[in-house]
Amino acid sequence: MFIDKGEIKEILQLHLTVKVPAGMQSEDLARPVIEVSSFFDKEVVFEIYTFGEQIVVIPL
């Protein structure tokens, strides 16, 4: 939940899935991905996953 000047501006929800992250092509790159989406319209706005030892946050 994002609150700005006392008003709720945005509510996000998390969903854990196993898939190929956005922007990757090969099926063998499937991995656990956290999808961050808008609570109201269910549109995915970010994906969070690991690549090697790095944590990657990709805006969609």
Sorting pLDDT into bands at 50, 70 and 90, what band is 6?
very high
What the block records as the tokens of 4 is 């700005």
Q: What is the pLDDT of residue 41?
A: 94
**Pairing relation of β-strands 44-51 and 7-10?**
unpaired
Other C-beta atoms closer than 10 Å to the C-beta of 44 total 13
For range 19-23, the mean pLDDT: 94
Measured distance CA(55)–CA(37) in Å, rounded: 18
Q: In the chain, where are the structural domains located?
A: 2-59
Distance of CA 20 to the CA centre of its chain: 12
Q: Considering the entire predicted model, what is its pTM? A: 0.86
Q: What is the pLDDT of residue 32?
A: 98
Sorting pLDDT into bands at 50, 70 and 90, what band is 37?
very high
